[in-house]
Structure 1
Amino acid sequence: MSLTHDVAVPPSAGRRFRAYTAKHLDELTARAGLAPDERLAVRAVASVLPFRVNAYVIDELIDWDSAPDDPIYRLTFPQPDMLPHEDVARIADLLRGDAPRKEVDRVANEIRARLNPHPAGQMLLNIPKLGAEEPMSGVQHKYHETVLFFPKQGQTCHAYCTYCFRWAQFVGEPDLKMATDDIDRLVAYLHRHPEVTSVLLTGGDPMIMGEGVISRYIEPLLAVPTLESIRIGTKSLAYWPQRFLTDPDADDTLRLFERVVDAGKNLAFMAHFSHPNEMAPALVQEAVRRIRDTGAVIRTQAPLIRTINDDSAIWADMWRTHVRHGMVPYYMFVERDTGPQDYFAVPLAQAYPIFRDAYAEVSGLARTVRGPSMSATPGKVCVDGVAEIAGEKVFVLHFIQARDPELVGRPFFAKYDEKAVWLSDLEPALGATRFPFQEGPAGAGATAARE
């Protein structure tokens, strides 16, 4: 990588990071043209679900002339109807009456508890501590060959997505957070479990950490001979590309990426892009180039989100743009069964044709993408299509990944349901009484990780 190459970005790109939080919401939503009652409702939603943006998102990504309908605005700003009306009204009444913060938090926590803060049995995936019985929070042996690691200092983001299924990480409730700084125990675990070939650093966003911190987590992994890949799940390219351009440790971070590649590991930069507009700024394109120059592979993924990207033309445009800049389209996800799912979810019967039509519009280089995929309790379930078999209309599905490796790649069928948005909404088809993942010793909720 040529770190001496001039970074072709405007001088304004070098400004320091500035975050905007809930205390700025009234001012910002007024800029979007919202009336006072609408702004109060937005503040009420933000009392339950997290809100955070930054100056780059505000100044470079959002088209304020189109707000509140602009897709990036909707991607980052709470909407008044994201939660049930009665819940929003209850919080709004407290805010209108200047209720004590403790009372607002108490009611907000009641509402959060009903939003399934840890979908797919996330807390049950924590692996046991070595030599002890209690779980090690912040490390999940999710699949046979894959471990997820939640670094303690990476449990926030440059900005929050309104649809984020990890919203519980950001609301300040310790009981809802998954995190650890014990990299030594993870390394010891990996030595004991050579079947694990891939570690995913996730959160939050690991790239919120400075190079001096993130290297303390990554460097020890380079000495694990059975580890083939290190993945970093991040939205930083979309929300703060300066992280790889003009931040004080940008060059040091890229040198760290080089060391991973030089150690013989695949560095998979798992970039979240939810809309083509996030790729428009020259800053992003230059950051992509610099990351790719280290030898890292950038793979792109996003959920299908109602009112933001539920259009096949948007996805085809996005995938073509990613390929043009040397990135690899990876996943279209279905919105997960947590938080404001009722607001953002697209029914599977609509999700599949959106994926299919977009897939049909791109070249083979973009057809590396899989979807629409549900990251459900037993694994990643892909909707392959709709068919009629023996006179019955069915969804055709298969496991891309599974807690029970025997399920991977096995097709199965569910009754067609035009309203179903998640695996739990589906019923077995063709006379079956149970799905394959509900059979055998693993069952629907079993984990693949066992000490």
Structure 2
Amino acid sequence: MPVAGSLSRIFPFLSGEEKEAFRQVTPIYPFSTTDYYLDLALRSKAVRKMLFPSLEEIDPVLQSFGEDDPLREEEHKKTSYLTHRYPDRVLVVVTNYCPVLCRFCMRKRNWLKPRFFITEEEIENVLRYVSANETVRDVLISGGDPFYLELERLEYLISSLEKIPHVEIVRIGTRSPVTDPEWVLKSDICEVLKETSKVWVNVHYNHPDEITELSTSAVRELQKCGIPINNQTVLLKGINDSADILENLFRKLQSIRVRPYYLFRCDPVKGVLHFSTPISKGIEIIRTLFRRISPLAIPYYAVDVPGGLGKVPLMPERYRKEGDKFVLETFNGRKVIMEDEFPPKGE
């Protein structure tokens, strides 16, 4: 859980600039962590950058290019907690609470609101909406971190969604195995999940340093419940924006049976833009990874288009069409010409 008095504890370990960032930034964007993740931050430069405030968060020029809600989640809300943008799936943000406030958070706007958890009444509103919209087959439960919702309430939400015939998948997005694995191991979350039949869990590792023995144990505990686990990574400037780091991360994820699912370009969120990389950077990294590792370890590189227009997967182009033939690029860069179909047209 969040560390009480953590600022006084860590101040002796901070540089002068970091101390100034805490003084100036935290009144605007607060700081919260767990003992576990704080200890990891003191050992890892990458984790430190993801956890500790930076003066760049409040740089008026840089952050003026961002928006509080560039993806228009609020505009697409159909209930107080449910957003419906894509035809076949909906997002339910059940809380704004996370024990660890990651500086790159896409919903940083929710940090500034009073703490909220979805109520029983609002769960019923969500269930009515999903039941009435038969195109919805996939429900994403997110936050904040849904694993910190009262377990009886989370269990009711999941079990009720699973009873809706056209709902085929219930996804839960959580960073708790990464930032608070001890809680995952001690709580009854696995007792709730092992009774489900449609649940997938998306975790959120950004750097190989986050895959520790304790974090792996938390993942293993979820896997024992029969839960498929995918990973979403955000491409973060100065933290993981290199093929070497991401290759290491994705290999390690495979080794603990967590599938790399998405690599997101950092969204243009106000207070987050200092982590942003060029779109072309991500494409080039994925191109390099295709030469090094199995496609099973390579996630989709996706850019969420501002204005609420949705995600666009951007993968390196490895083919072009010339007449009735295709020029294909192999994993090692070799160009190969193949017919579009067999037998070739005109023969």
TM-score (norm 1): 0.65
- 1:178-197 superposed matches below 5 A: 181=120, 182-197=122-137
After superposition, the Cα gap between the structure-2 partners of 1:192 and 1:85, relative to the gap in structure 1 and judged at 3 Å, is closer
Where 1:161 maps in the other structure, the secondary structure is: coil
After superposition, the Cα gap between the structure-2 partners of 1:378 and 1:362, relative to the gap in structure 1 and judged at 3 Å, is same
Instruction: Show the counterpart of 1:426.
Output: none
Instruction: Show the counterpart of 2:165.
Output: 225
Q: Residues of 2 paired with 1:374 and 1:86: CA distance?
A: 23
Contact 2:70 2:268 in 1 (8 A): yes
Q: Residues of 1 paired with 2:294 and 2:101: CA distance?
A: 32
Instruction: State whether structure 2 residue 304 is matched by structure 1 residue 374.
Output: yes
Residue 173 (structure 1) shift: 5.7
Instruction: State whether structure 2 residue 69 is matched by structure 1 residue 118.
Output: yes
After superposition, the Cα gap between the structure-2 partners of 1:141 and 1:372, relative to the gap in structure 1 and judged at 3 Å, is closer
Instruction: Show the counterpart of 1:50.
Output: 30
Determine which of 72, 77, 81 is the counterpart of 2:47: 72
Instruction: Show the counterpart of 1:12.
Output: none
Q: Residues of 2 paired with 1:313 and 1:114: CA distance?
A: 30
Q: Which runs of 5+ in 2 are unaligned?
A: 321-347
Where 1:380 maps in the other structure, the secondary structure is: strand
Determine which of 301, 321, 333 is the counterpart of 2:252: 321
Residue 241 (structure 1) shift: 1.1
Q: Residues of 1 paired with 2:170 and 2:108: CA distance?
A: 24
Instruction: State whether structure 2 residue 10 is matched by structure 1 residue 28.
Output: yes
Instruction: State whether structure 2 residue 193 is matched by structure 1 residue 257.
Output: yes
Q: Residues of 2 paired with 1:294 and 1:305: CA distance?
A: 32
Q: Residues of 2 paired with 1:372 and 1:114: CA distance?
A: 20
Q: Residues of 2 paired with 1:178 and 1:338: CA distance?
A: 23
Residue 215 (structure 1) shift: 1.2
Residue 386 (structure 1) shift: 6.8
> Which deviations, in whole Å up to 9, do the C-alpha atoms of 1:322-368 show, x marking residues without a partner?
1111111100000101123431100112221122223432223213x
Where 2:171 maps in the other structure, the secondary structure is: strand
Contact 2:127 2:161 in 1 (8 A): yes
Residue 43 (structure 1) shift: 2.1
Count of residue pairs the alignment pairs up: 318
Q: Which runs of 5+ in 1 are unaligned?
A: 1-16, 88-110, 128-135, 390-451
- Opposite residue 284 of structure 2, the aligned amino acid is P
Determine which of 57, 79, 89 is the counterpart of 1:146: 89
Q: Residues of 1 paired with 2:56 and 2:84: CA distance?
A: 36
Instruction: State whether structure 2 residue 106 is matched by structure 1 residue 165.
Output: yes
Instruction: Show the counterpart of 1:137.
Output: 80
Residue 372 (structure 1) shift: 4.0
Where 2:74 maps in the other structure, the secondary structure is: helix
After superposition, the Cα gap between the structure-2 partners of 1:56 and 1:245, relative to the gap in structure 1 and judged at 3 Å, is same
Instruction: Show the counterpart of 1:363.
Output: 294
- 1:324-363 superposed matches below 5 A: 324-363=255-294
Contact 1:200 1:233 in 2 (8 A): yes
Determine which of 187, 206, 224 is the counterpart of 1:274: 206
After superposition, the Cα gap between the structure-2 partners of 1:308 and 1:199, relative to the gap in structure 1 and judged at 3 Å, is same
Where 2:67 maps in the other structure, the secondary structure is: coil
Question: What is the percent sequence identity of the aligned residues?
Answer: 24
Residue 178 (structure 1) shift: 9.7
> Which deviations, in whole Å up to 9, do the C-alpha atoms of 1:400-449 show, x marking residues without a partner?
xxxxxxxxxxxxxxxxxxxxxxxxxxxxxxxxxxxxxxxxxxxxxxxxxx
Contact 2:18 2:52 in 1 (8 A): no
Q: Residues of 2 paired with 1:235 and 1:274: CA distance?
A: 10
Contact 1:355 1:372 in 2 (8 A): no
Where 1:259 maps in the other structure, the secondary structure is: coil
> Higher RCO, 1 or 2 (CA under 8 Å, sep at least 6)?
2
Residue 292 (structure 1) shift: 1.1
Contact 1:352 1:372 in 2 (8 A): no
Residue 245 (structure 1) shift: 1.2
After superposition, the Cα gap between the structure-2 partners of 1:86 and 1:141, relative to the gap in structure 1 and judged at 3 Å, is closer
Residue 314 (structure 1) shift: 1.0
- Opposite residue 102 of structure 2, the aligned amino acid is C
> Which deviations, in whole Å up to 9, do the C-alpha atoms of 1:43-83 show, x marking residues without a partner?
21122223211101122x2244x6xxx11011111112332
Structure 1 stretches (4+) deviating beyond 4 angstroms? Answer: 177-181, 386-389
Residue 211 (structure 1) shift: 2.1
Contact 2:162 2:168 in 1 (8 A): no
After superposition, the Cα gap between the structure-2 partners of 1:53 and 1:193, relative to the gap in structure 1 and judged at 3 Å, is same
Could you say what the CA RMSD is over the residues aligned between the two structures, in angstroms? Answer: 2.6
After superposition, the Cα gap between the structure-2 partners of 1:114 and 1:43, relative to the gap in structure 1 and judged at 3 Å, is farther
